[in-house]
Amino acid sequence: MKSVVVFCGSRHGAKPEYTEAARTLGRLLAERQIALVYGGGNVGLMGEVAHASLDAGGRVVGVIPEFMAERELALAACSELLIVDSMHTRKARMAELADGFIAMPGGFGTFDELFEILTWAQIGLHGKPVGILNTVGYYDALLGFMRQTVNEGFVHAKENDRIVVGAEPADLLDRLAATPVLPARWGKADLLKKS
CB-based contact 75:42 (threshold 8 Å): yes
Q: How far is CA 193 from the centre of its chain?
A: 20
Best CATH choice for the domain 3-192 from the list 2.40.50.140, 3.40.50.450, 3.40.50.1820, 3.20.20.240: 3.40.50.450
* Per-residue model confidence as pLDDT tens digits over 119-135: 999 999 999 999 999 99
Lowest-confidence pick of 45-59, 70-84, 168-182: 70-84
What proportion of the chain, given as a percentage, has pLDDT over 70?
A: 94
> What is d(CA 169, CA 42) in angstroms, rounded to the nearest whole number?
21
- For residue range 25-35, list pLDDT tens digits in order: 999 999 999 99
- Domain residue spans of the chain: 3-192
Residues 43 and 185: their CA atoms lie apart, in Å, by: 36
* Torsion from C-alpha of 17, 106, 173, 192, nearest 10 degrees: -160
